[in-house]
Amino acid sequence: MSFYFAAEKTLGKLAKWLRLLGFDTSFESEISSDKFFEHLQPERILLTRTKWVRENYSSHRHIFIESNNPRDQLKQVIRELGICQNETRPFSRCLSCNVEITEVPKNAVYGKVPDYIWETNDVFQTCPTCKRNYWPGSHTKRSMQQIEELFK
Ligand SMILES: [Zn+2]
């Protein structure tokens, strides 16, 4: 089962984390409030911390986020939806653009990433929209541990 999210503007860090886990997550601040709410797709679960939004969009599937802490927010979403770790696809999506990143040949990123990164990695991925390059670096290891802890 796949989940799609729409995060209101107060939930930027939560939105990034959901993208990091591979979930398609639209984010109010990247669109514009009018469009965000007007074009709220029915399959998207609305994530909000705002009572006004909860009251006005109560018929839309939503989760009212309780905590200020992004990590606890993420835990709440995982808990309420019963998301299992094997339903996630970590590092498959651009954190800025919310599109799936694609694996590219190593030679394609030569000169576009720092030399030592190019020399020490064999797997590279690129965002088709913003052209940002991704590779499994130390940041990924730390994030991976954080993900493991989420599903303990
Ligand atoms: Zn991108």
Contacts 24+ apart (CB under 8 A), 126-132: 126/101, 126/102, 127/94, 127/96, 127/97, 127/99, 127/101, 128/99, 128/101, 128/102, 129/94, 129/97, 129/99, 130/94, 130/96, 130/97, 132/94, 132/96
Residue 94 confidence class, pLDDT cut points 50, 70, 90? very high
| pLDDT value for 1 | 64
Whether 78 is in a domain gets the answer yes
Residues with CB in 5 Å of ion ligand 1: 94, 96-97, 127, 129-130
Whether 12 is in a domain gets the answer yes
Residue 152 pLDDT greater than 70, yes or no: yes
d(CA 128, ligand 1 centre) in Å = 7
Whether 96 is in a domain gets the answer no
Clarify whether residues 62 and 24 are in a common domain.
yes
Clarify whether residues 109 and 83 are in a common domain.
no
Clarify whether residues 69 and 134 are in a common domain.
no
Please state the rounded mean pLDDT for residues 30-50.
91
Quote the distance between the C-alpha of residue 22 and its chain's center: 6
Clarify whether residues 23 and 79 are in a common domain.
yes
Clarify whether residues 54 and 106 are in a common domain.
no
Whether 120 is in a domain gets the answer yes
Asked whether the beta carbons of 128 and 99 are under 8 A apart, the reply is: yes
Residue 137 pLDDT greater than 80, yes or no: no
Whether 8 is in a domain gets the answer yes
Clarify whether residues 106 and 36 are in a common domain.
no
Whether 143 is in a domain gets the answer yes
Whether 74 is in a domain gets the answer yes
Clarify whether residues 78 and 112 are in a common domain.
no
Domain that holds residue 8: 4-87
d(CA 102, ligand 1 centre) in Å = 11
Please state the rounded mean pLDDT for residues 70-97.
95
Please state the rounded mean pLDDT for residues 110-131.
94
